[in-house]
Each structure stands twice: as structure tokens, then as C-alpha cells.
Amino acid sequence: MMSTIEASGLSKRYESSQALDQVNFRATSRQVTSIVGVNGSGKTTLLRILAGLDLPSEGKVLVDTREVGPDELRAHCTMVFQKSVMFSGTVYDSVAYGLRVSRAADGGIREKVTSALALVNLDGFEKRKARKLSSGEQQRVALARALALERQVLLVDEPTANLDPANAMIIERAIKESAISRVVLLSTHNLPQARRLSDRVIHLYRGRVVEEAESSLFFTNPHDERTRLFIDGELQF
């Protein structure tokens, strides 16, 4: 069954700035949708609202065409952050945490943790201390932890920033594979990565969607001047 997540008129205002301004888009499962934009364009704010971590000042979020609030959003979505954070304890404990709090059966937890770790090439890492791993390995654990939950929507915020190419490649492959069964929204300012992974691309500029298109069209024939400048690396914020 096809899943969707939709932003309808989402705005977010802070005291002195407008982080998001009437953002509308729809992302579906079996696709990687990338949200690209320069630093400060509102990508992380958007993802945090979709994850149910922040409230929008205006607008709504719909999952499978039904409006949902932040509590329910957290049951549908999970998020991988740019800076991976590890619980103390083993890799197994870290990946199993979400399954435990959602009261999954013990046998199911082991199976899901093992297969999630395999997806990010961390087979056999279960007993290692999570905080002793390299930053690349920690980011892979963070992705495995999100995948193990098997939520409808996976939100990934700059997952490979500051990672070496080997770790970045493993993460990209796992993101692509995970999109088979869920909606994947990837926030990145890494355009080659967006090009490699995305089926659709959304360009956020100063909190507004200025272009949304199929990946091939977005990169080869952008309609918006700001998108063209962004792709050419000439856009100033």
C-alpha cells in the first residue's frame, strides 16, 4: 500500500524570523524525496515539524491524506539527525530502545535489530559500546535505530555531513533500500548526493518551496532562477 506525507500551508515563525512560509508538498513511499537548500533555508525546521518535535505556527501535516497532530506524527515518523546521539550501553541497546518503548515482543526485537544492523553493514556490532564507535559507525547505528522501528516515514537530516566516503556510501545505500517500503524525506545541501539518491527534489529558499520536480528535471532543467543558481553554486543566502 502506498503511504504519503503531506505538508499543507506550513509556516513557522520565530520572534525575529520566518523559518518556513506556506510550505506545500507531498511525498510518497517507494521514492526518496530530497529537500535541498542552502544553510538556514528551513530544511531542519521542516523535518522537525514533520517528526512531531516542533509545532508549526500555521498549516497542517497529513499522513495518508488524514490530518495528524504531533503525538500521532511521532507514531508515524522517525528521524535521523545530522549529529548522531548515542545512548550509553551497547549498540544492541541503542537500536532496540525504540522497539522496547513501543513494547514489541522480545523475539521480534532481536530479529529487527539484527536485520537493521545488517542494512548498514554493522553485523556483529551488537555488543560493542555505541559511544566507542567512530562517528561514521555511530551515524550508521542511528540509521539502523530508525529503520528498526519500521515507521511509515523516515526523515533524514544531513546524514552524511562530515563522514568519509565509505560510511557515506553505506548510509546512502541503506536509505535507498529503505525507501522500498516507506516514505523517505532526505534533507541535504549535498547536491551530488541528492542527485544520486532522489526521485523527487524540493528546493527550499528562505523558508519557501521555490521548485519541486522529478530529480532528472530538477538538475538538468530547473525552472526557477534561484534553483539554477543553487545548482551552479552561485546562490547567496
Partner 1 sequence: MDPITEGVIRAINLIVTGDREVFAITALSLYISISSTLLSCIWSIPISAALALRSFPGKRTVKGLFNALIGIPTVALGLYMYLLLSRSGPLGYFQFLYTPNGIIIGQCILVTPIIVSFSTSALESVDPDLRTLAKTLGASGFQIEAVVLREAFWGVTLAIIAAFNRAFAELGVAMMLGGNIRNLTRVLTTAIALETAKGEIALSIALSFILLGIVMSLSIAINLARRPS
Q: Pick one of 30, 60, 66, 83: the residue that binds partner 1 (CB under 8 A).
A: 83
| 78, 182 Cβ separation under 8 angstroms | no
List, in sequence order, every beta strand (DSSP E) within the chain. 4-13, 18-28, 32-36, 58-63, 66-68, 77-80, 153-157, 183-188, 200-205, 208-214
Task: Report residue 29 as a C-alpha cell.
Answer: 513511499
> Nearest distance from residue 214's CB to partner 1, in Å?
29
Q: Are 142 and 80 in contact (CB under 8 A)?
A: yes
- Give the number of residues in contact with partner 1, rule: CB under 8 A: 23
Using the rule CB under 8 A, give the single segment among 33-41, 94-102, 110-118, 218-226 that binds partner 1. Answer: 94-102
SS3 string, 146-209, reads HHHCCCCEEEEECCCCCCCHHHHHHHHHHHHHHCCCCEEEEEECCHHHHHHHCCEEEEEECCEE
Distance CA 131, CA 112 (A): 21
Task: Verify binding: residue 140, partner 1, rule CB under 8 A.
Answer: no
For position 75 contacting partner 1 by CB under 8 A, the verdict is yes
131 contributes a contact to partner 1 by CB under 8 A: yes
| 78 binds partner 1, rule: CB under 8 A | yes
Considering only the stretches 105-113, 144-152, 208-216, 226-234, report the one whose residues sit in contact with partner 1 under the rule CB under 8 A: 144-152
Say how far apart CA 189 and CA 134 lie, in whole Å: 23
Which 45-74 residues touch partner 1, going by CB under 8 A? 51-53, 74
Regarding 87 and contact with partner 1 (CB under 8 A), the answer is: yes
Q: Does 135 bind partner 1 (CB under 8 A)?
A: no
What's 30's DSSP letter? T
The nearer residue to partner 1, 62 or 75, going by C-beta atoms, is 75
Judged by CB under 8 A, which of 39, 65, 88, 236 binds partner 1? Answer: 88
Closest-CA residue to 44 (of 185, 174, 227, 147) = 185
Of 145 and 226, which has the nearer Cβ to partner 1? 145
Handedness of CA 180, 217, 62, 73 (dihedral sign): positive
Which of 109, 117, 122, 149 is the binder for partner 1 (CB under 8 A)?
Answer: 149
Cα–Cα distance measured from residue 84 to residue 162, given in angstroms and rounded to the nearest whole number = 12
User: DSSP assignment, residue 129?
Assistant: B
User: Using CB under 8 A, which of the segments 13-21, 24-32, 85-93, 109-117 binds partner 1?
Assistant: 85-93
For residues 13 to 42, the per-residue mask of contacts with partner 1, x marking binding by CB under 8 A and - elsewhere, is ------------------------------
The least CB distance from residue 78 to partner 1, in Å, is 6
Selected binder of partner 1 within 102, 115, 134, 221 (CB under 8 A): 102
